[in-house]
Amino acid sequence: MEKSIANRLRLHVREAAVHSRVPYSGRSRAALALMSDNSWTCGVRVENASYPLVIPALSAVLASANSIGRRDITALVFSDRVKLEEKTMIQQSFTGPMEQLAEDILGYPGSINGPGDELITGWHFPDKLDTATGIRIARQATQNAYIPESDFPVGALVVTRDQTCYQGVNVEHDDWTQTLCAERAAIAAAISAGETNIQRIYVSCPKAPAATPCGACRQVLCEIAPEAIVWMDRGEQTAECFRTLDLLPRAFTLN
């Protein structure tokens, strides 16, 4: 890879790292996924008071790419040196050989070109998004779910105060501890884009007539979007709404 290309990729990922949500460690971190058409997107570290629920930068960027239907990743770039656990996850997630081109770049040999435009992972609605539209978008997102283990698609849409929306899907992994739910994938996409005020979350779970967010997602939602309203779509069932704080009374906190 040409040095100038590598430096441009590093610039993008280091700029993204400032969006990290790291109130506990203070260690900002970002990962950039470069696609086959040279477009790219970034994910950042998202910490939670329940430390096992921290979303690593690599998980965030892989979930964001999957959530918009992009799995054609040709390189991964990190804001600092690639960690051993990241190498392991990459080896488990990609079928082709990826080589370490530099201490912070992994990619397919001979397939990396200069970065193009940033992938648009969020979009803005000029008017307030109505409930039916939010549910429809979350339901459509389920088509991008990566669910080889469960065949249980879930889609989510988070909406910020200024009506910018980010979608997420559940992204499964052979190591189930690395699996990310749709709600957390959508939150990670929003935070990676620098959003801080999530007001509504739409969750679609078409195969489960009694589904609600899992405990892990409730904990993350309570810390990151405590005042948000969650709409739950269950296919043919009537949609229900909940206050985030009502989903997990007495949520865990370090304060």
Pairing of strands 122-124, 155-160: unpaired
| Of the candidates 201, 210, 187, 196, the residue with the CA atom closest to the CA atom of residue 229 | 201
Phi, psi of 143 (to 5 degrees): -65, -20
Our measurement of the distance from residue 36's CA atom to the centroid of its chain's CA atoms, rounded to an integer in Å, reads: 20
Please report where in the chains the tokens 């009537």 appear, as a residue: 238
Q: Which of 183, 227, 236, 240 is catalytic?
A: 183
State the Cα–Cα distance between residues 196 and 52, nearest whole angstrom: 22
- Is position 86 annotated as part of the catalytic site? no
Report d(CA 202, CA 218) in Å as an integer.
Answer: 13
Residues involved in catalysis: 183
